[in-house]
Structure 1
Amino acid sequence: MKIALLGYGKMGKTIERIALERGHEITIKTSDEDGYDITKADVAIDFSVPNAAFFNVVNCFKHNVPVVSGTTGWLHNYDKAVALCKETDGAFIYASNFSLGVNIFFELNKTLARMMGHLKNYNVSMEEIHHTQKLDAPSGTAITLAEGIISEHPAYSEWTLETKSKGTIPITAKRIENVPGTHSIDYKSDTDTISITHTAHSREGFALGAVIAAEWLQGKTGVFSMKDVLNIG
């Protein structure tokens, strides 16, 4: 499989190594929004920056190249991307986090929220910790987790950064050097606390999941998620 790496930072370089180990070829490596010929690739993996991601995804659709995107911070254009994917019979997977473990954690989070929904004496809060180079806060993974809780727990309708108010899930975002990603969810009452946490030890898990998603997307058309790739949920 010939892969275009759209975004060639630390994550792109990790994806490159894992893809090569799995027998794939890297035909494009770029951090620019244009100046590359996407038709040289069988599939694209986008880990660029928020202001380049939408351009990259649209360029793939226009040239019939399946695309996997893990860039966060551009989701105000996500519905446009989905519409264009359907219009062009493209193939698209977006995930806030491609780690196989995190995607299992997403489902665990929703299950716990469903179980806690009738227990009014517990209040939920979240914390996410990432490396200091991460541009957005809260993380896309934290937002996905918050949305998972909102979908299953009747007491919550939105999330908020730091501030705590009725009906909202407060998210604390910390940036600490060399932390790949830690996400914790706490349900606290006067008597106890129930916590679930996912801790990434390196970028390897994110990169492997992105390559697996790209492999799975070959030969398909439509808009998919990691739940489809992993057949979970």
Structure 2
Amino acid sequence: MKIALVGYGKMGKIIDEIATQRNHEIVARLNESPNSENLNNADVVIEFSNPEVAFNNIKTCLENKIPVICGTTGWLDQKPEIEKIAAENNTSFLYGSNFSLGVNLFFALNEKLADLMKNFPDYNIQLEEIHHIHKKDAPSGTAISLAEGIIKNDNRFEGWKLDETRDKELGIFAIREDEVPGTHSVFYRSEVDEIEIKHTAYSRNGFALGAVIAAEWIKGKTGNFSMKDVLFS
């Protein structure tokens, strides 16, 4: 495949290396805005940029009828509009708050545990995420996905917030620490014990490999997708 990388920071460089190892051709490495010329007739775009520019980056690529794999978090209030643009242009869009295989298994485990625990109100639920100090959004997209998975399965909660869990709002602690790639924990605490599930990333390589696998999977498809479609469909 011919892949354009939109956002060529640390993640972009790792994706470049892994995609090349898997015999794909990188036809664009962009830190500037994409356009019909600098995308160089790519088969797919992998977008890891910044929340401030992600919407316009994705919109441009979709309007050029190029499928987009997006791992940028912090812009999701505009995601419904992007999904509409993908449909109007008969192309495809896949957003992942986290492309790691382990994290997507963790998402499934989180929902299963939430369903098991919904009838045990003595357990208070709290989320925690730790990331490197350069991460611009808080909480992480992964933490938000975990919170949404709990809220979907436990009607005690109507939403989430950055703080301790109180009343109908599920709490998320967002910690920024050195060069941590990403650690996510879900705690169920009662007066007598605690249940914890946790995912720890050791490097960014798992995220990058998942993004390339998603790009391989989406070729020839139209519609709006997630990593659940890639891994479990």
TM-score computed with the length of structure 1 as normaliser: 0.97
Change (3 A) 1:44 1:34: closer
C-alpha deviation, 1:64, in angstroms: 1.1
Letter in 2 for 1:210: A
Q: Which moved more, 1:163-172 or 1:68-77?
A: 163-172
Aligned 8 A contact 1:38 1:65 in 2: no
Q: Which moved more, 1:181-190 or 1:56-65?
A: 56-65
Aligned 8 A contact 2:50 2:72 in 1: yes
Residue 8 of structure 2 is matched in structure 1 by 8
For residues 75-106 of structure 1, the C-alpha deviation after alignment (integer angstroms, 9 at most, x for no partner) is 11101001111111111100100001101100
Pairing of 1:1-233 with structure 2 (within 5 A): 1-34=1-34, 37-231=38-232
CA distance in 1, matches of 2:164, 2:112: 25
Unaligned residue ranges in structure 2 (runs of 5+): none
| Other structure's SS at 1:40 match | coil
Aligned 8 A contact 1:159 1:168 in 2: yes
Letter in 1 for 2:170: I
| Other structure's SS at 1:45 match | strand
Aligned 8 A contact 2:128 2:174 in 1: yes
Aligned 8 A contact 2:126 2:164 in 1: no
For residues 117-136 of structure 1, the C-alpha deviation after alignment (integer angstroms, 9 at most, x for no partner) is 00010010010000000000
C-alpha deviation, 1:163, in angstroms: 3.9
Letter in 2 for 1:27: V
Q: Which moved more, 1:128-137 or 1:53-62?
A: 53-62
CA distance in 2, matches of 1:163, 1:192: 18
Aligned 8 A contact 2:28 2:40 in 1: no
Letter in 2 for 1:173: A
CA RMSD after TM alignment: 1.1
Unaligned residue ranges in structure 1 (runs of 5+): none
Once superposed, which parts of structure 1, at least 4 consecutive aligned residues long, lie more than 4 Å away? none
Aligned residue pairs, count: 232
CA distance in 2, matches of 1:132, 1:83: 34
C-alpha deviation, 1:37, in angstroms: 2.4
Letter in 1 for 2:33: E
TM-score computed with the length of structure 2 as normaliser: 0.97
Q: Which moved more, 1:153-162 or 1:126-135?
A: 153-162
CA distance in 2, matches of 1:96, 1:57: 15
C-alpha deviation, 1:21, in angstroms: 0.5
Aligned 8 A contact 1:39 1:65 in 2: no
CA distance in 1, matches of 2:125, 2:131: 21
| Other structure's SS at 1:38 match | coil
C-alpha deviation, 1:14, in angstroms: 0.5
